[in-house]
Structure 1
């Protein structure tokens, strides 16, 4: 009996760190991203695929360049991509309206870009409702 108790305690001690990590990761995701500035959002979320200079990458996948990307001339294009996802890019709809405004402004005015026109939180909110409806109708 003592041996079984020791094994049980050993198993519990081995599982506890995993449970703590899973809980903290879940809490971070449930609470959204804590970053607020466009630069911080880009640095911590976007640059892993689009690269620090925004020039994209190819390898195991193709990650489009944001630097010099003519699609960013339309202020609402990156908003829709973030809300809905596109091809291999997942949706980042868990970002708040304000966060999407910030990162959109960053990628449209930094990384060698200088596109005029700003996005508002009201525009993001309206597009979010549209994107959610369209995603709900998407098969699979």
Structure 2
């Protein structure tokens, strides 16, 4: 083996070790789920990165719909299905607990100028989780 190929091999191995360490850190960080519990905390830490702090959405590298004044939120369980299944470019957040999904759903439906009647409970969310292979039937959009 030449000196150049040995150096390249060592760089490749070092890069693999660094990548493995980074991935292990990411799994440790997110493997335990989300620690935020209130709707406001969940929105601030998860949702506002795309939907913005004022929930008015944004257009740039992608289109992030406004949640403020969104008439689809009048359907109490609509946001639950979107959170559980994802929609278009939005990934699913099914790793949130039933209580967390209920909290953030109720928060979005009652803030940002929204005042839709009715609330969602953790039991409502649990009932919407897929049973067997029926998960695609609930995917909106």
TM-score, normalised by the number of residues in structure 1: 0.81
1:123 aligns with 2:131: no
Q: Cα RMSD (Å) of the superposition?
A: 2.7
Residue of structure 1 equivalent to 2:93: 92
In structure 2, stretches of 5+ residues that fail to align are: 1-6
Q: How does 1:1-140 map to 2 (within 5 A)?
A: 18-129=19-130, 133-135=134-136
Check the 8 A contact 1:84/1:131 in 2, yes or no. Answer: no
What is the CA-CA distance between 1:118 and the residue it aligns to?
Answer: 0.5
Aligned residues: 136
Segments of 4+ in structure 1 off by > 4 A?
7-18
Q: Deviations over 1:37-67 (max 9, x none)?
A: 1111111110011000000011121111000
TM-score, normalised by the number of residues in structure 2: 0.81
CA distance in 2, matches of 1:101, 1:135: 21
* TM-aligned CA distance change 1:132 to 1:73, over 3 Å: farther
In structure 1, stretches of 5+ residues that fail to align are: 1-6
What is the CA-CA distance between 1:11 and the residue it aligns to?
Answer: 8.0
* TM-aligned CA distance change 1:130 to 1:112, over 3 Å: farther
Give 3-state SS (helix, strand or coil) of 1:89's partner. coil
Give 3-state SS (helix, strand or coil) of 1:117's partner. coil
* TM-aligned CA distance change 1:46 to 1:73, over 3 Å: same
